[in-house]
Chain A
Amino acid sequence: MRASRCLIWPLSLLHICLTVIATSYEQFDEDLVLTPLPDGKVSAAFTFTTLLYGAAPRDPHTLNSPDESQHYTLFPLALGQLLREHAVTELHLALNAGNWNYARWGSPPDPAVGTGGELWAWMGTEGPTSIDARWRGLRNSLAGLFCASLGALDAVRTTAPAAAFPPEGALPSWRGAHDNGTTTSGAHEIRHASLPAEHVCTENLTPFLKLLPCKAQSGLAALLNPHRLFGADWHGLGVHVRWVADAGVEVRLSFQGVFDPLRAPGARGKSDWSLHSLFDRTVSRSCPVATTSAIRVALPNSDSYSLVPEPASAAGGVAVYDVHTAAKPLNVALSYPNTFNYPSSYASNSTPFSVKRTLTGTSQAWGRLSVRITNHRSEEMHVLYLETMPWLLQFHLHTLTARVDGVLDDTAISHLTYTPAIAHARPTMLQAVVRLPPRATVQLSMDVAKAFLRYTEHPPDAQRGWDLPPAVLVPVNVSSPLGQTGVRGAGAFVPTGPRVYTSTLLVDLATPDFSMPYNVIIFTCTLVAGIFGTVFNTLTRRWVIVRVKA
């Protein structure tokens, strides 16, 4: 570092002057929503929101000068440092395990339910460091913070699907003149990557809890018992940072899980649950710095159930407990008089449409990718179908066909955007708007070619295969294709509903016999050694006449 010493004094004065004076107001809220699901399971969604009033994301133009000092009380310092270091405007990280069953469980509280790790961020494009360099720094810092292998989300897995992942907060414009007279446009771009094979375990939860003001000692976070959370049928933790324009920077840490009370040892066929039976813990102390701390229980539709203790309020089918005022230890319990009856069919209008994606074919050289989307509504709708596929699976786009209820219909697909893959360098990104006629099933299918990997690219457990990231479907409104300000790329549609993720796929690529290189060397050398002598002798043989005495 060749920092010029003569600039230190004015810079340190500048640093003092830039010390933020405002915004000592921070607010922390926590929330737990418990929803009984139709198949007897219980969905628990924890949300911890910290709002830093008056703050704004860092302008990437200021990355070369020292940052203002950060002083937080409730806002997590580790996350704040990371966001300012890489000048990130909006950040979303989700680490999930399991498959979210949309048919039985409906829409998840937080839509990011793709299996494995998923990370996307909106960052300003201009500035001394490129957005890709900052994306790399962000991934590595998050990998260090959350003990996840996010460093592996490199260019081979990164795409920029701006339409399917619009910014959830506002994007600052940073308009106006900057230091040396240049004007900034405040353009932002998205970077998205997913790692479907990522495991989630206690080492991801430990740093997550350390970001909370009350950690796991008091308040609702005390319920997060890793031994129960990671035995759930589905669980996922999420970190969402966004900028709310007239408020400040909001960090929302969420943990969702789907628990099965029928699996508990003492269930005896009844789907009763309580905080103790789900988490093996109860809320014994409330978090003193939480402005609101509430447990909401969605009341089941059946007539007979009993909910103890008495909630503070029960309106619109939701019972609310205020943890600050409730009697401690607080153990919310819902019990039914009768044993649980599995419904014979699940209401198919829990989500407006359902999707199933499969990879068919028995060959290790090609296959067929097939997506079936069923519209449960009685009016026509459009969905944006996003497929980000690693280069291992190459699409033959000319074979993309759409069938509506079995009938070939080319008008079902429109607004196709396709970024082909570059082998070993970039994934494929396919975006299309699919028209779903009312109560119809649209089947998209396409031939794919499976790549033949280099010997060094196989993972250590190559026989398992490769996980493919989920496809994302977003219901959109095509009649008004407005582009959002600050978002690059034409064809951005306004989403009218939450994202739906398909399941991940496992593709089996041809694996070599990994002991072959040594065998090949030996074999080739032996063969060549054997043949060499013969060839050489043939070429240089000298024929003479030998007289044999009769």
Chain B
Amino acid sequence: MLLAPIFQLLLWLSSWAWVSTASAVYEDAARGFFERHASSAGGSGSTHTNNWAVLVCSSRYWFNYRHMANALGMYRTVKRLGIPDSNIILMLADDASCNSRNKFPGSVYANPARQPDLYGDNIEVDYRGYEVTVENFIRVLTGRMDPSVPRSKRLLSDERSNVFVYMTGHGGNEFLKFQDNEEISAFDIADAFEQMYQKRRYNELLFMIDTCQANTMYSKLYSPHILAAGSSNLGESSYSHVNDNDIGVAVIDAFTHYVLEFMEKINKTSQVSMQELFNSFDATKLHSTPGVRSDLFKRPLDKARITDFFGGVAQVEIISLDSATISPEATSPTNDTEPLQLRPNVMPLAAKAQNMSDTVTTQTWLAQLNGKEWKTVRAWVSLAIIGALASWVASRK
């Protein structure tokens, strides 16, 4: 029987190929790692000139009032700190404030004391109702839109924009549910951010997500200059914070509540850093473990200011009215070049480290495989298994 040795040879060949590709995979991963960091070494500290925010509430129905309150709370915060409406894309999947179930028409509150009114008198919702879909969200991020889409629905950021992406809704392990009938996966978000990076649509990006098992959503990101924060780990749920008995449902989620509470102390010119925001996360109060991913973010967190992402401070130049010559006197009160610090890997966060689970990429070569190499490995393994199976069947009498 010639076939048995043939299949055993095949098995041996496949395992050899697997090992060799695996080692090649390790080299590729290592090379990619250094390439990524080498290319960003030429960049300097925060050099953004404008800010954009994309705030998404992906849940529908009255009992998800708290998700809309989350997104609106973030909207009010970034608006207060200076990002103009033209630079904010707000997506609300349902109408909570003018809902016929709402006892307080035209208002959305995030606490039982009903202060402040998050809806207010001046609001622009760019995508509402059925328009909040996964496709529209990805189109907003990547910029691939039909030419007839109006300007207020486009993310017109450039390479000097800091973008803040906030998502809230119901989610799970590496997915987020949109309006109860479709999902977006962590891979899609990672690909969308990569497309943004390739077209230089952001300088730095803050991705904040408040759903169940939120930390899994940023686990697949691979583009540089992204800082991510999530509300709960794999296997944990994110909890709501407080109910309002007159509205009848929970009005805010815990993670967003504490973030907004922290933000109340921040004004347009404050110098508070992102590190302090992350230090303020308290897993015991949240009943879930919030996480931060900063290995893709090149600046140290204590040098990155909150207003870099949440605020929209412009720089101005006073010019003289003498039309013959222009003598620009640059008056830049903030945002000087930061001293460059090369940190190839993430440093463990100081204090309260035990409260946070930092998703540091481990050094094992297995974890450094990215999608393509993993697929090759998988293909060889399955071939080996099929070869083994077929040879077993054929060798039986």
Query: Contact residues of A with B, CB < 8 Å?
Result: 97, 136-137, 140-141, 143-145, 147, 149, 151-152, 198-203, 206-207, 216, 225-231, 458-461, 514
User: Would A227 and B104 count as touching, CB distance under 8 A?
Assistant: yes
Of B120-128, B241-249, B320-328, the segment with at least 4 beta carbons within 8 Å of chain A is B120-128
Q: Is B276 an interface residue (CB 8 A)?
A: no
Given A206-B122, A227-B106, A460-B180, A147-B149 contact (CB < 8 Å) = no
Give me the 6 closest cross-chain CB pairs, A-B, nearest first: A144-B150, A201-B98, A231-B105, A460-B179, A227-B106, A203-B125
A226 in complex: contacting residue of B121, B150, B151, B153, CB < 8 Å:
B121
**A144 touching B153, Cβ below 8 Å:** yes
B60 at the A interface (CB under 8 A): yes
- Residues of A within 8 Å of B119, CB to CB, are 201-202, 226
Task: Evaluate contact between B104 and A144: CB separation under 8 angstroms.
Answer: no
Interface string of B144-186 (1 = CB under 8 A from A): 0000111111000000000000000000000000011100000
Which residues from A are CB-within-8-Å of B61?
A: 461
Q: Is B131 part of the contact surface with A, judged by Cβ < 8 Å?
A: yes
Q: Which residues of A contact B131 (CB under 8 A)?
A: 149, 151-152
Q: How far is the CA of A207 from the CA of B149 in the complex (A)?
A: 18
What are 6 A-B pairs at a CB distance below 8 A? A144-B126, A147-B152, A149-B130, A202-B119, A230-B97, A230-B105
B60–A202 touching, CB < 8 Å: no
Task: Give the distance to chain A from B247, nearest Cβ to Cβ, in Å.
Answer: 15
- Closest-CB distance, A531 to chain B (whole angstroms): 22
* A202 touching B98, Cβ below 8 Å: yes
Contact B123 A206 (CB under 8 A): yes
Docked-complex contact B98 and A199, CB < 8 angstroms: yes
Given A229-B106, A231-B106, check contact A147 B98 (CB 8 Å).
no
Candidates A147, A206, A227, A460; contact of B126 at CB < 8 Å: A147
Tell me which residues across on chain A come within 8 A of B126, comparing CB atoms: 144, 147
> Closest residue of chain A to B122, judged by CB?
A206
Whether B148 pairs with A137 at a CB distance below 8 angstroms is yes
Q: Chain B contacts of A201 at CB under 8 A?
A: 95, 97-98, 106, 119, 125
B49 at the interface (CB under 8 A from A): no
Q: Please, which residues of chain B bring their CB within 8 A of the CB of A461?
A: 60-61, 180
- Please give, as numbers and ranges, the residues of chain B lying within 8 Å of A97 by CB-CB distance: 98
Contact B98 A144 (CB under 8 A): no
Q: How far is the CA of A138 from the CA of B68 in the complex (A)?
A: 29
Closest to B179 in A: A460
B21 at the interface (CB under 8 A from A): no
| Contact flag A202-B123 (CB < 8 Å), given A137-B148, A461-B60, A461-B61 | yes
- CB pair B153–A202 under 8 Å, yes or no, is no
Kindly report which residue of chain B lies nearest to residue A226, judged by CB atoms: B106
A47 to B286 alpha-carbon distance, docked (Å): 50
Q: How far is the CA of A30 from the CA of B151 in the complex (A)?
A: 30
CB distance from B63 to the nearest CB of A (A): 13
Is there a chain A Cβ closer than 8 Å to B15's Cβ? no
Chain B interface, number of residues (Cβ within 8 angstroms):
32
Q: Bound state CA distance, A144 and B150, in angstroms? A: 5
A177 to chain B, nearest CB (A): 32
Query: Which residue from chain B places its CB closest to the CB of A232 in the assembled complex?
Result: B105
Say whether B107 faces chain A, with CB atoms less than 8 Å apart: yes
Q: Is the CB of A149 within 8 A of B128?
A: yes
Min C-beta distance of B138 to chain A, whole Å: 17
The distance in angstroms between the C-alpha atoms of A144 and B117, with both chains bound, is: 24
Taking a contact as CB atoms under 8 Å apart, the answer to whether A203 and B128 are in contact is yes
Contact indicator B150/A206 (Cβ below 8 Å): no
B-chain residues with CB within 8 Å of residue A152 when the two chains form the complex = 130-131
| CA A300 to CA B325, docked complex, whole Å | 70
Report the separation of the CA atoms of residues A203 and B122 in the bound assembly, to the nearest whole angstrom.
Answer: 7
The distance from the CB of A132 to the nearest CB of chain B, in whole angstroms, is 12
Interface string of B54-67 (1 = CB under 8 A from A): 00000011000000
Residues in A with CB closer than 8 Å to B181 are 458, 460, 514
With beta carbons under 8 angstroms apart, the residue of B106, B128, B148, B150 that contacts A230 is B106
Instruction: Contact check, B150 vs A143: say whether CB atoms are below 8 A apart.
Output: yes
The B interface is mostly helix, strand or loop, or mixed, namely: loop
A295 to B214, CA, bound (A): 55
* Of the residues B106, B107, B151, B180, contact of A144 by C-beta under 8 Å: B151
Chain A residue with Cβ nearest B85: A206
| Interchain nearest-CB distance for A263 vs B (Å) | 12
B130→A460 contact, CB < 8 A: yes
A234: shortest Cβ distance to chain B, in Å? 13
Contacts of A140 in B (CB 8 A): 148-150
Across-interface contacts of A227 in B (CB, < 8 A): 104-107, 117
Known: A201-B97, A514-B181. 19 other contacts (CB 8 A): A140-B148, A141-B150, A143-B153, A144-B152, A145-B152, A147-B125, A201-B95, A202-B97, A202-B119, A203-B124, A203-B125, A226-B121, A227-B117, A230-B106, A231-B105, A458-B181, A459-B130, A460-B180, A461-B61
The answer for the CA separation of A145 and B153 in the assembled complex, in Å, is 10
Distance A151 CA – B120 CA, assembled complex (angstroms): 25
Distance to closest chain A CB from B167 (angstroms): 17
CA distance A225 to B60 in the complex (A): 26
Q: How far is the CB of B291 from chain A (nearest CB, A)?
A: 30
Given contacts A230-B105, A231-B106, A460-B179, contact A145 B150 (CB under 8 A): yes
Interchain CB contact (< 8 A) of B121 among A151, A216, A459, A514: A216
For A207, what are the chain B residues with a Cβ–Cβ distance below 8 Å?
124
Which A residues are in CB contact (< 8 Å) with B348? none
Known contacts A144-B152, A230-B98, A461-B61: A202-B120 contact under CB 8 Å? yes
Alpha-carbon distance between A206 and B107 when the two chains are bound, in angstroms: 14
A231 (CB) vs chain B CBs: closest residue: B105
**What CA separation (Å) do A97 and B106 show in the bound complex?**
13
- Minimum CB–CB distance from B183 to chain A (whole Å) comes to 12
Contact yes or no, B148 A136, CB < 8 A: yes
B129 at the interface (CB under 8 A from A): yes
CA distance A231 to B60 in the complex (A): 21
Q: Which residues of B contact A198 (CB under 8 A)?
A: 129
Task: Decide if A199 touches B106 in the complex (CB within 8 Å).
Answer: no
Contact of B124 with A149 in the complex, beta carbons under 8 Å: no
Across the interface, which residues of A come within 8 angstroms of B107, CB to CB? 227
A536 to B158, CA, bound (A): 62
Q: Which residue of B lies closest to A140 (CB)?
A: B148
A514 to B180, CA, bound (A): 10
| CB <8 Å contact, A206 and B151 | no
Nearest-neighbour CB distance to chain A for B246, whole angstroms, equals: 14
CA distance A207 to B119 in the complex (A): 15
Q: Which of A137, A206, A230, A231 contacts B124 (CB 8 A)?
A: A206
A143-B150, A144-B150, A514-B181 given as contacts; is B125 within 8 A of A199 (CB)? no
- Chain A residues lying within 8 Å of B120, measured Cβ to Cβ, are 202
Cα separation A207 to B124 with both chains bound (whole Å): 8
- Docked CA distance A200–B128 (Å): 11
Distance of A458 Cα from B150 Cα, bound (Å): 26
Also in contact, A147 and B148, with CB within 8 A (given A202-B98, A227-B107) = no
A141 to B153, CA, bound (A): 10
A136 to B147, CA, bound (A): 11
Within 8 A of A (CB), among B336-390: none
- Min CB distance A80 to B, Å, is 16
Q: Is there contact, CB below 8 Å, between A460 and B60?
A: yes
Q: Is there an interface contact between B124 and A147, defined as CB atoms closer than 8 Å?
A: yes
Within the complex, the shortest CB–CB distance from B254 to chain A, in Å, comes to: 26
User: How many whole Å from A464's CB to the nearest CB in chain B?
Assistant: 10
Collect the chain A residues with CB atoms within 8 Å of residue B128's CB.
147, 149, 199, 203
Instruction: Give every chain B residue within 8 A of A144 (Cβ-Cβ).
Output: 126, 149-153
Contacts of A147 in B (CB 8 A): 124-126, 128, 152
Give the chain A neighbours of B130 by CB distance below 8 A. Answer: 149, 152, 459-460
Residues of B within 8 A of A145 (CB): 150, 152
Quick one: given A460-B60, A460-B179, are A203 and B152 in contact (CB under 8 Å)?
no
Q: Tell me the bound Cα distance from A144 to B125 in angstroms.
A: 10
Nearest CB to that of B90 among chain A residues? A203
Q: Contacts of A200 on B, CB cut-off 8 Å?
A: 98
Residues in B whose Cβ lies below 8 Å from that of A206: 121-124
> Which A residues lie within 8 Å of B153 (CB)?
143-144
